[in-house]
C-alpha cells in the first residue's frame, strides 16, 4: 500500500491430498502430496499486480508484496503475474488425512468395487476404481478489513468399467464426490456403484445407432446439470457480462427461459462438491437465484468485477490454488424441481431420446451454442424407454434450450464435476430434476 496500491490482499493456502488407483485387480498407484504458499494481489486503478511464493517466512512474504506492488504501480491496465523462485517450506512428511482410517481400509473399498463389477457379467473385461481425498486450508486478509479462513475436506470415488462384445469395447462410469471425510462411505455402497457402472457398459454392447435430427429429449435427474452449467451458467458470470461477451448481456429483468425454469447457484448446499463456507476472496458463500420463473434476475460476481460496478460480491470469487488469481466461478448450479411426475414425462413423449447421462461438451458463451456428448441414452418409443443408443452428440443453443423446456419433474439430484476456465480448474456441483426439452438436434448416425 505504501507504493500507491488501492487494495492489497494476502491469500495463504495449505493443501494436502492422497489417492489410490486399483486397476486390473491390483493396486496400480498410491500417491500423496502437500503444497503450501501465498499469493499477494495489489490493485492500483485498472492494473492488478500479483505475485506468489512458496516461502511463507516473513522475508518471503515481504518480497512477494514488494513485487506485486511494483507490478501494480507500473500501470498500463490489465493483469501482470510474477512467480517468485519457489523454495520448499516443509519436508516430505506423510500426508495425514481422514485421521484414524488406515489405508488398508480404503484399499479394501477399491477391491470390493473391482470384485462387484467383474461378477456382474462375463462381458466385463476391465475395471478401474480410484479413491481420492483432500484437505484445503486457507486464510485471506485484505486492506478492506477481510480476515477469514476455511477448511475444506473432499472425498471422491470413481469406478470405470469396460465391457467387450461383438460390437467392440464399451465403457461405463459411476462416481460419487462430496465435501465430507471417510464417513461418506457410511451411506455409499461402492459395490452397488460398481454394478451400476458395469451394467451401463454391458447395456451399450447391444446399443443401436442413435437417431439424427431434431427430437424431443428427456434428461434424467442430475445427468443434465452439466448442460445448464456450461451452456447457461458461464454466460451468467460477470466477467463475461462486463466484457460484453455473453449472450445474456443487458437482459436483466427479461424473460430468457420457460416460466417453469428457476436456475440457482448456491455455494451453501452442505456436502455438495462445490460447497464452501467462504469463497477464495473471503466472502461468505451465498444462494444466488439467477433465473426465476424464466426471468433473468442476477449475475454471479467476484470482488474485482463487483467493485467496478459499485456493488457487492456474490461469493463467487474462486481460484485453483494460491498461485492463481481469483475469478468469477460457479459453485453448485442447478434447476429447481417442478411438479410433474418423471414417469409421466416419458409416457407423454411419443418419440424421442431419454438421456440418462451426459458427457463433456463445449460452449460458446457469446452465442450460447453448445455441443455435448451422451454417455448413456435410450430411445423413447410410444411413451416408453426402449433400446439403448450408441454415444452421440446433443447440439443446440443454451437460451433456446431454456425456452424449450415444457415439463419439469418433482425429483432432483446433483452430480459432481470439475470446471475449467482460463486454465484453472475448481470443483463444482451440477443438478436438475428430470425434464423435457421439446426439440434438440441429436447428432447420431441413424436416419
Domain residues for the domain of 370 are 212-443
Q: What confidence score (pLDDT) does residue 95 get?
A: 35
Q: What confidence score (pLDDT) does residue 90 get?
A: 31
Q: What confidence score (pLDDT) does residue 447 get?
A: 62
What order do you get walking across the sheet with 287-292 strand by strand?
295-296, 287-292, 263-266, 332-335, 424-432, 413-421
Q: Is 138 domain-assigned?
A: yes
- Does residue 251 sit in the same domain as residue 190? no
- Does residue 35 sit in the same domain as residue 62? yes
Nearest to 71 by CA among 98, 31, 42, 91: 42
Q: Give the 3-state secondary structure percentages of the chain, helix then strand then coil, rounded to 5.
A: 20, 45, 35
Q: What confidence score (pLDDT) does residue 224 get?
A: 84
Q: Is 2 domain-assigned?
A: no
| Alpha-carbon gap, residue 65 to 58, rounded angstroms | 10
Q: What confidence score (pLDDT) does residue 99 get?
A: 67
Task: Give this prediction's pTM.
Answer: 0.92
Q: Kindly report, residue by residue over 357-371, the tens digit of the pLDDT.
A: 998 888 898 999 999
- Does residue 183 sit in the same domain as residue 267? no
> What are the residues whose beta carbons fall under 8 Å from the beta carbon of 37, sequence distance 6 or more?
12, 13, 52, 53, 54, 55, 56, 86, 89, 321, 322, 323
Q: Is 313 domain-assigned?
A: yes
54 half-sphere exposure, CB direction, 13 A CA radius: 11
Return the C-alpha cell found at 158. 470413481
- Does residue 163 sit in the same domain as residue 216? no
Q: How far is CA 438 from the centre of its chain?
A: 26
Q: What confidence score (pLDDT) does residue 313 get?
A: 97
| Alpha-carbon gap, residue 326 to 9, rounded angstroms | 11
Q: What confidence score (pLDDT) does residue 231 get?
A: 86
Q: What confidence score (pLDDT) does residue 74 get?
A: 80
- Does residue 163 sit in the same domain as residue 275? no
- Does residue 186 sit in the same domain as residue 332? no
Q: What confidence score (pLDDT) does residue 433 get?
A: 98
Q: What confidence score (pLDDT) does residue 88 get?
A: 33
The domain tally of the chain equals 2
Q: What confidence score (pLDDT) does residue 76 get?
A: 66
Q: What is the DSSP letter of 146?
A: -
- Does residue 249 sit in the same domain as residue 266? yes
Residues of the chain with pLDDT under 70: 76-99, 447
Q: What confidence score (pLDDT) does residue 218 get?
A: 97
Q: What confidence score (pLDDT) does residue 139 get?
A: 95
Q: Kindly report, residue by residue over 66-78, the tens digit of the pLDDT.
A: 999 998 888 766 6
| Alpha-carbon gap, residue 396 to 231, rounded angstroms | 9
Q: Is 345 domain-assigned?
A: yes
Nearest to 407 by CA among 337, 329, 332: 337
In the block, cell 492488478 appears at 48
- Does residue 415 sit in the same domain as residue 328? yes
Q: What confidence score (pLDDT) does residue 336 get?
A: 97
- Does residue 123 sit in the same domain as residue 254? no
| Domain of residue 110, CATH code | 3.30.2290.10
Nearest to 190 by CA among 131, 273, 119: 131
Q: What confidence score (pLDDT) does residue 446 get?
A: 74
- Does residue 366 sit in the same domain as residue 418? yes
- Does residue 197 sit in the same domain as residue 217? no
Q: Is 1 domain-assigned?
A: no
Listed residues 171, 206, 241: the one ending a domain: 206
Buried/exposed 214-244: b ≥16 CB within 10 Å, e otherwise: ebbbbbbbbbbbbbbbbbbbbbbbbbbbbee
Q: What confidence score (pLDDT) does residue 158 get?
A: 98
Amino acid at each position: 500500500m505504501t507504493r500507491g496500491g488501492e487494495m492489497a490482499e494476502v491469500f495463504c493456502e495449505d493443501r494436502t491430498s492422497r489417492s489410490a488407483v486399483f486397476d486390473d485387480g491390483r493396486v496400480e498407484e498410491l500417491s500423496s502430496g502437500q503444497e503450501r504458499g501465498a499469493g499477494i494481489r495489489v490493485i492500483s486503478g485498472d492494473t492488478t499486480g500479483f505475485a506468489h511464493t512458496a516461502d511463507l517466512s516473513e522475508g518471503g512474504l515481504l518480497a512477494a508484496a514488494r513485487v506485486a506492488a511494483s507490478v501494480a504501480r507500473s500501470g498500463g491496465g490489465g493483469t501482470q503475474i510474477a512467480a517468485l523462485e519457489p523454495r520448499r517450506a516443509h519436508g516430505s512428511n506423510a500426508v495425514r488425512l481422514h485421521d484414524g482410517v488406515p489405508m488398508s481400509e480404503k484399499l479394501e473399498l477399491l477391491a470390493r468395487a473391482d470384485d462387484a463389477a467383474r461378477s456382474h457379467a462375463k462381458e466385463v473385461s476391465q475395471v478401474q476404481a480410484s479413491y481420492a481425498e483432500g484437505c484445503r486450508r486457507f486464510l485471506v486478509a485484505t486492506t478492506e478489513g477481510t480476515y477469514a479462513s476455511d477448511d475444506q475436506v473432499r472425498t471422491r470415488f470413481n469406478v470405470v468399467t469396460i465391457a467387450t462384445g461383438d460390437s467392440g469395447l464399451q465403457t461405463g462410469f459411476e462416481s460419487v464426490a462430496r465435501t465430507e471425510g471417510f464417513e461418506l462411505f457410511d451411506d455409499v455402497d461402492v459395490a452397488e456403484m460398481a454394478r451400476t457402472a458395469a451394467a451401463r457398459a454391458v447395456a451399450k454392447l447391444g446399443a443401436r445407432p442413435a437417431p439424427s435430427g431434431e427430437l424431443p429429449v428427456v434428461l434424467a435427474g442430475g445427468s443434465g446439470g452439466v448442460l445448464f452449467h456450461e451452456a447457461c451458467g458461464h454466460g451468467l458470470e460477470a466477467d463475461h457480462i462486463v466484457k460484453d461477451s455473453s449472450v445474456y448481456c443487458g437482459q436483466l429483468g427479461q424473460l430468457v427461459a420457460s416460466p417453469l425454469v428457476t436456475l440457482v447457484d448456491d455455494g451453501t448446499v452442505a456436502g455438495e462438491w462445490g460447497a464452501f463456507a467462504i469463497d477464495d476472496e473471503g466472502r461468505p458463500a451465498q444462494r444466488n437465484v439467477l433465473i426465476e420463473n424464466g426471468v433473468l434476475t442476477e449475475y454471479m460476481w467476484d470482488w474485482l468485477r463487483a467493485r467496478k460496478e459499485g456493488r457487492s460480491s456474490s461469493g463467487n470469487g474462486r481460484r485453483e490454488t494460491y498461485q492463481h488469481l481469483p475469478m468469477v466461478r460457479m459453485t453448485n448450479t442447478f434447476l429447481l424441481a417442478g411438479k410433474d411426475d418423471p414417469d409421466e414425462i416419458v409416457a407423454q413423449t411419443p418419440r424421442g431420446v431419454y438421456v440418462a447421462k451426459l458427457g463433456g461438451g463445449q460452449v460458446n458463451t457469446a452465442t450460447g451454442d453448445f455441443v455435448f456428448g451422451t454417455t448413456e441414452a435410450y430411445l423413447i418409443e410410444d411413451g416408453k424407454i426402449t433400446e439403448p443408443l450408441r454415444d452421440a452428440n446433443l447440439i443446440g443453443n443454451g437460451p433456446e434450450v431454456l425456452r424449450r423446456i415444457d415439463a419439469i419433474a418433482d425429483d432432483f439430484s446433483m452430480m459432481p464435476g470439475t470446471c475449467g476456465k482460463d486454465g484453472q480448474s475448481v470443483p463444482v456441483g451440477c443438478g436438475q430434476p428430470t425434464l423435457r426439452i421439446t426439440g434438440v438436434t441429436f447428432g447420431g448416425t441413424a436416419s
